[in-house]
Structure 1
Amino acid sequence: MTSLAESMVLTVDRDSVCAGDDCASHVCAFSVPSAASLSELIYQAKKACELPGISGGKATWIVEAGGYDGMPIAVVAQQWDEARTVIPSSTTVARLFADLEKQLFFKYWCQANPETVFDALVSNSPLPSRYAS
C-alpha cells in the first residue's frame, strides 16, 4: 500500500493534433506526491507532456485517468488559466489511482466549446461533436 507521503510515478499521453504531430510518441513518465490535489496532478502532467497551442487559441482537452478512454476527471482549455475538475477537487492522487492504471490521457476535443464539454461531463450527458466550434 502506498503511503500518502510517497510519490507515485504515472505515465501521461495525449492525442496528436495534426498529421505532423504524430511523428513521435508523446508518452512521458512523471512523479507526483500521492497526497497531491487534482490541480497539482494536472499541472505536473502538462509539464511532463506539453499540450500544443492551436492556432486561434481554442483547443479543448478532456483529461482521463486510467489511460485512453479512462475516467474523465477534468477539462483543460487553451483559453482557460486552469483546468476544471469533473470529480471532486479534494480527490488525492492516491485515491484517484487506487483502482486505476497509473496513466493519464489528454484527449483532444478540437475546438469544441470547453464550457459545453465540461457541462456534458458533469451532467453525464453526451459530449458535443469534437469538430463543432
Structure 2
Amino acid sequence: MTDLKIHVDRDSVAAGDDVEQHKKTVSVRHSTDMLVMLSHLLVKYPLPQIAGGKATWIISRTSKFGTRFPYDAIAVMAQQWNLPNLLASPDTAAHLDADGSMTLYFKYMAQKSPDDVMSALKVLER
C-alpha cells in the first residue's frame, strides 16, 4: 500500500501553543476509507489535549488557495471521542488535491459541544 502525503495545520489552543509552528507535512498509509486515513493521521499529528477534556475540532479540506471552514468541513473531532465523525464523503479520493496529496486544517472550536457543531455544519451544507 502506498503512502499519502497530507499537508496539515491547526489553530492554537492557547497563547503558549503558538511557540511552535503547527503546519506540517506527514505521510500516512493510504486508505480509500476517510475515517481510517484520519485515524492514521491523528496518530502522527496528535491534537493538543486541553484541561477539562472537551476540545472540539472541525477538520476541513483546504485548497492551495486557503479556502476552508465551514465550506469544506469533512469531519468533527472531539477530545472525548476515539474517532472523528464524518460530514462528507467517506471516499478519500474525493478529498485529494490535484497532485494526489491532501491538505487539511483543524479549526479549534474550544469546548463547544461536538454534537452542536455537527448539527450546525449539517445545516450549513443545505
TM-score (norm 2): 0.81
Matches within 5 A, 1:41-60: 41-60=37-56
Does structure 2 retain, via aligned residues, the 8 Å contact 1:73–1:87? yes
Matched, 1:11 2:7: yes
Deviation string 1:28-73 (CA, Å, 9 cap, x unpaired) is 2222344431112211222232211111111000001125625100
Q: CA deviation at 1:123?
A: 2.3
Distance 1:6 1:47 in 2: 17
**Residue in 2 that maps onto 1:40:** 36
| Contact 1:26 1:49 (C-alpha < 8 Å) held by counterparts | no
Give the CA deviation at 1:76.
0.2
Measure, in 2, the Cα distance between the counterparts of 1:75 and 1:110: 13
SS of equivalent residue, structure 1 residue 29:
strand
Residue 97 of structure 1: aligned partner: 96
Q: Which residues of 2 match residues 62-81 of structure 1 at below 5 A?
A: 62-66=58-62, 69=68, 71-81=72-82
Which structure's relative contact order is higher, taking Cα pairs within 8 Å and 6+ residues apart? Answer: 2
* Other structure's SS at 1:124 match: helix
Aligned counterpart in structure 2 of residue 21 of structure 1, from 11, 17, 25: 17
Unaligned regions of 5+ residues in structure 2, if any? none
> C-alpha deviations, 1:67-124, integer Å up to 9, x for none?
56251000000111211000132x12x2311559731111100011110100111221
**Local SS of the residue matching 2:124:** coil
Unaligned runs of 5+ in 1: 126-133
Question: Residue type matched to 2:124 in 1?
Answer: N
- Partner Cα distance (1:106, 1:34) in 2: 20
What's the RMSD between the two structures over aligned residues? 2.2
TM-score (norm 1): 0.77
Contact 1:27/1:49, CA 8 A, preserved across alignment: no
- Contact kept in structure 2, 1:28 and 1:48, CA below 8 Å: no
Q: Percent identity?
A: 34
Question: What number of residue pairs does the alignment pair up?
Answer: 119
